[in-house]
Amino acid sequence: MAFKTEPVTINLGPQHPSTHGVFRLKVTFDGEQIVDAEPVIGYMHRGTEKLAEERSYVQIVTLTDRLDWVSSMTNNLAYVRTVEKLANIDVPIRARYLRVLCSELQRIASHLIATGFLMQELGTFGGTPLMYCFREREKILDMFEMLCGARITLSYMRPGGLVQDAPPEFWERLKIFQKEMPGYVDELESLISDNEVVLARTKNVGILSDRVAVDSSVTGPMLRASGVRWDLRKADPYEVYNSLHFEIPIGSVGDTFDRYFVRINEIRESIKIINQVVEQIPTGPIRTEIPYFFKPPIGNAYTSVEAPKGELGFYLVSDGGISPYRCHIRSPSFINLTVLKDLLVGSTMADLIVVFGSIDIVMGEVDR
């Protein structure tokens, strides 16, 4: 017997749990099936781009930390590389190697957060995978603290290099991490990849086709999970990535499981990169000395990096002063969020939070 139903629109949020920040989603249901979805953003807008126009080029580094606050190192890197291009600043080779090392440690930490919370949103194992992910992330944050005295909002990079060199205790801790982390990734995957609940809730759920992904400018693990082999570290190498060997993991279906699986394999590739950096890094200076209130020549510049969530780019316009005349941020969380409707329509209420979690956004980077 068929039941007559009428579409019902429900507001989900804004609230913090399971939405990775302050976010509202207007969802229209027909029974349990989603027929429309509209993301509503702007609840924590900070005006980062406008604030940058009132601060010196060095002071802006602290603003970048607070965009994607689980990926501060790569935020720093994308910004300082744009400043260096704008002002024609050279960076010592040792600093470039350390930047890559920090970026890959940050990628691992970010993917651990994405994986742990995805499992939490599935309701699996009473939080065990999440705690496993937090345990390993804490070790990375400990190393970041050795580098700069901070754990989350790091401000470690500067135009021209880094704040300071890595201390001896950092290298000792990193050596232990290099030895132990591959086994912990295996352990984490053994809990997840063949689990019946995970497979039932993620396989063929929230499929993003390669065509829609490319047309929507989606980047990062979301794009690669849809089978598109695009990674700026290979397509447009920066720092010292052109002297390092690593693979680009890709998926075949573009579903929620593929997005998880690409991130797990990217952790493995990041470990390979870290091992090569440790072997190759030379001695030498870690910063080109420049005035604190330097003035780039009149002009504009854009550079981007392969951040954990995708292409993160900064566009800066200089009028010859100590602050940028204009600043615009190309943030992957914002761009990747635009396909949420494509992922959700046709799914059910039970799938909604899991699919949303698989995008892996941070609202500070959306409401910038």
Is 349 among the domain residues?
A: no
Q: Are residues 168 and 255 in the same domain?
A: yes
Q: How far apart are CA 364 and CA 314, in angstroms?
A: 15
Is 360 among the domain residues?
A: no
Q: Are residues 152 and 6 in the same domain?
A: no
Domain boundary among 45, 60, 81: 45
Say if CB 181 and CB 293 are below 8 A apart. Answer: no
Is 348 among the domain residues?
A: no
Q: How far apart are CA 183 and CA 61, in angstroms?
A: 35
Q: What are the tens digits of pLDDT across the range 220-253?
A: 999 999 999 999 999 999 999 999 999 999 999 9
CA-closest candidate to residue 118, choices 132, 104, 102, 103: 132
Q: Are residues 86 and 229 in the same domain?
A: yes
Q: Are residues 193 and 140 in the same domain?
A: yes
- Strand pairing partners for 348? 33
What per-residue confidence (pLDDT) applies to 19?
60
Q: Are residues 1 and 133 in the same domain?
A: no
Instruction: Report the chain's terminal Cα–Cα distance, integer Å.
Output: 50
Q: Are residues 86 and 209 in the same domain?
A: yes
Q: Tell me, what DSSP letter sits at residue 15?
A: E
Is 356 among the domain residues?
A: no
Q: Are residues 190 and 324 in the same domain?
A: yes
One-letter amino acid for residue 239 of the chain: E
Is 51 among the domain residues?
A: yes
Asked if the model's pLDDT at residue 18 lies above 70, the reply is no
Q: Where are the alpha helices (DSSP H) in the chain?
A: 48-52, 61-65, 72-87, 93-122, 128-148, 168-192, 196-202, 210-215, 221-225, 232-235, 256-280, 332-337, 340-344, 349-359, 363-366
What DSSP line would sit under 156-174, residue for residue? -EETTEESSPPPHHHHHHH
Q: What are the tens digits of pLDDT across the range 279-303?
A: 999 999 999 999 989 999 999 999 9
Q: Are residues 88 and 150 in the same domain?
A: yes
Is 27 among the domain residues?
A: yes
- Strand pairing partners for 318? 299
Q: What are the tens digits of pLDDT across the range 161-204?
A: 999 999 999 999 999 999 999 999 999 999 899 989 899 999 99
Question: How many domains are contained in the chain?
Answer: 2
How far, in Å, are 112, 195, 335, 355 from residue 339 at the CA level? 23, 27, 8, 11
CATH code (residue 294): 1.10.645.10
Q: Are residues 108 and 13 in the same domain?
A: no
Q: How far apart are CA 244 and CA 234, in angstroms?
A: 10
Q: Are residues 59 and 188 in the same domain?
A: yes
Is 237 among the domain residues?
A: yes
What per-residue confidence (pLDDT) applies to 16?
62
Q: What is the pTM of this model?
A: 0.95
Query: What is the extent of the structural domain holding 22?
Result: 1-45
Q: Are residues 12 and 99 in the same domain?
A: no
- Joined together, the tokens standing for residue 227 give 């089978």
Is 97 among the domain residues?
A: yes
What per-residue confidence (pLDDT) applies to 187?
92
Q: Are residues 227 and 331 in the same domain?
A: yes
How far, in Å, are 165, 186, 235, 259 from residue 249 at the CA level? 32, 16, 14, 10
